[in-house]
Structure 1
Amino acid sequence: MSLETFASSDSFTLGVELELQIVNSHDYDLTSGAADLLRLIEKRKLMADVKPEITSSMIELSTGICTNHAMVIEQLREVRDALVDCAGQLDLRLAGGGTHAFQDWSRRRIFDTPRFRQVSELYGYLSKQFTVFGQHVHIGCPNADEALWLLHAMSRFVPHVIALSASSPYIQGYDTGFQSARLNSVFAFPLSGRAPFLLTWDDFKVFFDKMHHTGVVTSMKDFYWDIRPKPEFGTIEVRVMDTPLTVEKAAAIASYLQCVARWLMTERPFQPQEDDYLVYTYNRFQACRFGLDGEVVDPISAEHRPLRELIRETIHRVGAHAVELGAEEGLHYLLDMLRDPLGSDAAWLRDIQREQQFLPEVVRQQCVRFEGG
């Protein structure tokens, strides 16, 4: 199987995917409700799409192709409201968040599709431990070479969106000390991490053919990179975010990535290089561990900067692009978040647990928040 031809997309168009938790409404543990939810939701006519994920306690929604923040938020709210209504008919509830606070991974069931069965057979228990919940954002690119350039330029901003979305402090009933513990589960997979530093599609095809020859990969789906090209869509896909607790925050983070992408592509403030990755894993860890209070290193100047300050500075730097893209509302949302001590979802979850001392109540309040309450 050869690598697909890279489709052309309108620059800076957006697609947003959110993986959601399916919980029961009595003890708020995860439950196997995906098949029943899909049966109900397929009767609805929606702008967005809904499909299964690897375990039956998860479901994924995805918008259509959007050009601005208003379109993203409209589609996310419509599909959220439809899913919440269907879940209610089944005595289920839905929540955002990168991990479920107290579920036991060994009780999860793999959703029955050939692809998911194959993944389960290959990765064993890791497949069930992969019951974690992320946001993915697709950004349209006019051609393959531009997509690879943007992929590597965007790598410097991976810590930004990890920190903005961080919502997974609890795993298996324990406070991990991380703001985003979800990514530790992703990192266990052998084809995770960063893409190879290749800036032309011809070079990337050579790399893919070599990997395919080894038998390790059969398609781009086998790569769990933080950012990967999606040739069939003509996009790059940023995959590092936890699912936020609200669709409003998800839309705002997508707008941030859209504005950064337009700034990078039109102004070319720097040229991506292999040395950008010298500090990549360290910066990624800082964002996962400390969230907005993390400190990252500039790969060229070696300057250490607080993430909260860097994100605020970037929002102001891309302001003119936000106007052109209709993204001002999303960026204002993030500026308000940066000023709020509980603006981080991880901080909000810990505050609820500090007050209630009962993780099922934390999950219940996550459900209320996701539902728009």
Structure 2
Amino acid sequence: MINRHDARLVDKADAVLADMENSQQIKHELTKSMIELNSSVHTSVLELHKELSFLARNVREVAWQHGCDVTGGGRHLDGDWREQVISDLQRHQNLAVRYGYITKMACVFGQHIHIGVQDGDEAIYLCHALIPYLPHLVALSASSPWLDGVDTSFSSSRFTGQNAFLNSELIENLYNWEEFTAFYNEMVDIGIIKSIKDIYWYVRPQPALGTIEIRICDMPLTIFHAAMLTGYSKILAQSLLANRVNIVKKHHAIEKYNIFNARRDGLQASYVSTLNNQRQPLASHMLHTVENLSLFTHNDEDNYVLQYIAKYVKKGANDSDRIRSMIKRAMDLNTVMERMRKMLLSAPKSYKK
């Protein structure tokens, strides 16, 4: 949430949410300068886009009455973590006591993608099977190139506000629901975690919802792009379930390297295949994946999503690149934030609503 006058982060979540009617889908987040939007369950990402756009417009309408607005992006360009105010929710207050300054530094903005699964074993399988494709989602969503008014040299710097929490990054060496349940119960008994929310893996199971939750994406500058990333993730998951891969028990050094590269260099990153240890451009791996997925899809919407992703990759510029381009054109950071604000509800001209 940003002030409409100077585009600075503003602690208006309490005031805005107090005036919202559909509070079940619009909620408090960790700090009072952010708000969480939750969609209902969808089988169509285009319908998902319509709903999230509707929710964002509602928030925007109320926010304007309080002198503020909402924007996308994985980080505010020059927001000061020291000025952040933790929300009054008891869980968030408990996190602040436990993690101290880390909690305020986690004032970053992400897109979480839920995909329905049939059972726990399917969830754990996907938590592993999706790992080689996480660099895709990092590079496609990256929108946090600046921190505290300084260029980080990263396409996505949001991870510095997330990976400091316990139980973060990749899933542990657990390969079925029975193993996960034993691990989970042990962690609860010891007192390391209290609930599934204390597990911050890039992909984690969400038993209460019957989903897996992909948590590695920055919040894109547009809701439309966020919907396309959801569609891409859905197609990937469906393909991996239809054509099961063997989950090999081994180290994750290469996967972590690939994720780091995607965060560092975005769509220009290099990628090392875990199948043959061969290096290639990440963009090439993404386009090859899209080509393979296109043989699997059977409806117009999925084809549209894959065509969109391929076109985006071929252009070679993600949201972080766009932000840097604006700054290089001598725009001050407030002006860039204002441009970002205006982009939130935009969609391609060719998109038929």
User: Do both proteins adopt the same fold according to a TM-score greater than 0.5, normalized to the shorter chain?
Assistant: yes
Q: Does 1:37 align with 2:16?
A: yes
Return the alpha-carbon distance in structure 2 between the equivalents of residues 360 and 100 of structure 1.
Answer: 10
Q: Aligned residue for 2:310?
A: 335
Q: Aligned residue for 1:84?
A: 60
Which residue identity lines up with residue 339 of structure 2 in the other structure? Q
Q: Is the 8 A contact 1:69 1:329 kept in 2?
A: no
Q: Aligned residue for 1:14?
A: none
**In the TM superposition, what is the alpha-carbon distance from 1:241 to its structure 2 partner?**
0.2
Return the alpha-carbon distance in structure 2 between the equivalents of residues 62 and 296 of structure 1.
Answer: 33
1:167 alignment partner, one of 124, 127, 143: 143
More displaced 10-residue stretch of structure 1: 351-360 or 287-296: 351-360
Return the alpha-carbon distance in structure 2 between the equivalents of residues 94 and 196 of structure 1.
Answer: 36
TM-score calculated relative to the size of structure 2 = 0.95
Q: Is the 8 A contact 1:276 1:300 kept in 2?
A: no
Deviations 1:333-366 (A, max 9, x none): 222212324x400000001111134111110100
For these two proteins, the number of residue pairs brought into alignment is 347
Deviations 1:254-299 (A, max 9, x none): 011000111110012x212233623121111001000111111112
Unaligned runs of 5+ in 2: 348-353
Q: Does 1:278 align with 2:253?
A: yes
Q: Is the 8 A contact 1:245 1:345 kept in 2?
A: yes
Q: Does 1:141 align with 2:120?
A: no
Q: Aligned residue for 2:337?
A: 363
**In the TM superposition, what is the alpha-carbon distance from 1:51 to its structure 2 partner?**
0.5
Correspondence 1:57-136 to 2 at 5 A:
57-136=33-112
Return the alpha-carbon distance in structure 1 between the equivalents of residues 311 and 273 of structure 2.
Answer: 25
Q: Does 1:184 align with 2:160?
A: yes
**In the TM superposition, what is the alpha-carbon distance from 1:331 to its structure 2 partner?**
2.2
Return the alpha-carbon distance in structure 1 between the equivalents of residues 279 and 47 of structure 2.
Answer: 37
Q: Does 1:347 align with 2:321?
A: yes
Q: Aligned residue for 1:298?
A: 273
Correspondence 1:213-292 to 2 at 5 A:
213-268=189-244, 270-275=245-250, 277-292=252-267
- Cα distance change, pair 300–336 in 1 and its aligned pair in 2 (3 A): closer
Return the alpha-carbon distance in structure 1 between the equivalents of residues 174 and 130 of structure 2.
Answer: 14
Return the alpha-carbon distance in structure 2 between the equivalents of residues 322 and 56 of structure 1.
Answer: 41
Identical pairs, percent: 32
Deviations 1:295-319 (A, max 9, x none): 1111231011211111111112111
**In the TM superposition, what is the alpha-carbon distance from 1:185 to its structure 2 partner?**
1.8
Return the alpha-carbon distance in structure 1 between the equivalents of residues 73 and 220 of structure 2.
Answer: 5
Q: Aligned residue for 1:7?
A: none
**In the TM superposition, what is the alpha-carbon distance from 1:325 to its structure 2 partner?**
8.0
SS, match of residue 305 in structure 1? strand
Unaligned runs of 5+ in 1: 1-21
Q: Does 1:307 align with 2:282?
A: yes
Deviations 1:71-110 (A, max 9, x none): 2112111112212222222221111000000011101100
Q: Aligned residue for 2:351?
A: none
Return the alpha-carbon distance in structure 2 between the equivalents of residues 258 and 37 of structure 1.
Answer: 32
Return the alpha-carbon distance in structure 2 between the equivalents of residues 321 and 136 of structure 1.
Answer: 24
SS, match of residue 86 in structure 2? coil
Return the alpha-carbon distance in structure 2 between the equivalents of residues 53 and 125 of structure 1.
Answer: 16
Which residue identity lines up with residue 175 of structure 2 in the other structure? L
Q: Does 1:153 align with 2:132?
A: no
Q: Aligned residue for 2:184?
A: 208
**In the TM superposition, what is the alpha-carbon distance from 1:324 to its structure 2 partner?**
4.0
Which residue identity lines up with residue 340 of structure 2 in the other structure? Q
**In the TM superposition, what is the alpha-carbon distance from 1:34 to its structure 2 partner?**
0.6
Which residue identity lines up with residue 60 of structure 1 in the other structure? E
More displaced 10-residue stretch of structure 1: 313-322 or 139-148: 313-322
Q: Is the 8 A contact 2:223 2:345 kept in 1?
A: no
Return the alpha-carbon distance in structure 2 between the equivalents of residues 237 and 227 of structure 1.
Answer: 5
Q: Does 1:50 align with 2:11?
A: no
SS, match of residue 60 in structure 1? strand
SS, match of residue 252 in structure 2? helix
Q: Is the 8 A contact 2:221 2:344 kept in 1?
A: yes
More displaced 10-residue stretch of structure 1: 232-241 or 293-302: 293-302
More displaced 10-residue stretch of structure 1: 234-243 or 316-325: 316-325
- Cα distance change, pair 300–371 in 1 and its aligned pair in 2 (3 A): closer
**In the TM superposition, what is the alpha-carbon distance from 1:208 to its structure 2 partner?**
1.1
